[in-house]
């Protein structure tokens, strides 16, 4: 089964760029890598999705190397409201099951 | 457009009982997935339904079951509750069936907090 590894927690200050990396193996070769954000007492919220190289949207960038064994979520100029838990999500190559990372708790300080 | 709704939001049960949770997807979405979230195990995939058919299932015992109706609403049932079933149960919907092809963005509901005493 695919295995994912994320840092458990990260601290940052307002205005800084934050990079969160998820390591993953045995992921489906033809499926996307997805990142979600979750605030307390809410369900996860989609941030960004990519297959390879770099994807950018209005809130984040996602970097995926050619071997797709990791992915890095980049949040530019974080604010206090970015304090949340961030999850990577991959698809297992053998079973097609969805595998969430354990989540990275990002604490943004003023 | 209304988001994913889940009922009830909170539930307290005792060991051995059974429980049914309900999920109404976003209008037009035909795929519904269920997840269990606990502090120890994180987010774990339970199952996904598309057009009333279960398309994929996570590694949970048979006590966990679900179904989807013709209007895409879904229910999840847990029988013979155990203390370890205490968790936040999340439902997510998407417009496309993801597991037969590319994973598609899912929209999550607020969850049902189940406490088993």
Considering only the beta carbons, identify the residue of B92, B102, B107 that sits closest to A32: B102
- CA angle, residues B16, B18, B23, in degrees to nearest 5: 150
pLDDT at A85 over 90: yes
Q: Given an 8 Å threshold on Cβ–Cβ distance, is B45 in contact with A99?
A: yes
Beta strands B112-116 and B10-13, pairing class? parallel
Note the pLDDT tens digit of each residue in B81-94: 999 999 999 999 98
**pLDDT for res A32:** 84
Average pLDDT over residues A92-96: 76
pLDDT at B102 over 70: no
Q: Are A2 and A92 in contact (CB under 8 A)?
A: yes
Beta strands A33-38 and B107-108, pairing class? unpaired
**pLDDT for res B81:** 97
CA distance A31 to chain B (A): 5
CA distance A110 to chain B (A): 27
Note the pLDDT tens digit of each residue in A13-47: 999 999 999 999 878 777 788 999 999 888 999 99
What residues in A contact B48, CB-CB < 8 Å? Answer: 98
**Does residue B25 belong to the interface with chain A, where contact is any CB pair within 8 Å?**
no
pLDDT at B101 over 50: no
**pLDDT for res B109:** 95
**Sheet containing A53-56: which strands, arranged edge to edge?**
A3-5, A18-25, A70-75, A61-64, A53-56
Q: Given an 8 Å threshold on Cβ–Cβ distance, is A97 in contact with B58?
A: yes
Note the pLDDT tens digit of each residue in B25-70: 999 999 999 999 998 888 999 999 988 999 888 889 999 999 999 9
**pLDDT for res B100:** 42
Q: Which residues of A touch B (CB under 8 A)?
A: 30-32, 34, 36, 41-46, 49, 87, 89, 91, 95-103
**pLDDT for res A86:** 97
């Amino acid at each position: 089964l695919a295995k994912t590894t994320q840092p458990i927690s990260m601290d940052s200050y307002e205005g800084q760029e934050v990079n969160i990396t998820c390591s993953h193996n045995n992921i489906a070769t033809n499926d996307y890598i997805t990142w979600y954000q979750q605030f307390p007492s809410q369900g996860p919220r989609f941030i960004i999705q990519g297959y390879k190289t770099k994807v950018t949207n209005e809130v984040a960038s996602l970097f995926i190397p050619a071997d797709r064994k990791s992915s890095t979520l980049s949040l530019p100029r974080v604010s206090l409201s970015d304090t949340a838990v961030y999850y990577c999500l991959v698809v297992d190559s053998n079973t097609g099951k969805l595998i969430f990372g354990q989540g990275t708790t990002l604490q943004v300080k003023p | 457009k209304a988001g994913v709704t889940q009922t009830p939001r909170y539930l307290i049960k005792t060991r051995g009982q059974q429980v049914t949770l309900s999920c109404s997807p976003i209008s037009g979405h035909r795929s519904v997935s269920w997840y269990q979230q606990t502090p120890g195990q994180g987010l774990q995939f339970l199952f996904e339904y598309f057009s009333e058919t279960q398309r994929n299932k996570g590694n949970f015992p048979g006590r966990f079951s679900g179904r989807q109706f013709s209007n895409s609403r879904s229910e999840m049932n847990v029988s013979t509750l155990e203390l370890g079933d205490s968790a936040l149960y999340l439902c997510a919907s998407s417009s496309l069936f993801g597991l037969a092809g590319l994973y598609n963005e899912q929209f999550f509901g607020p969850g049902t907090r189940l406490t088993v005493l």
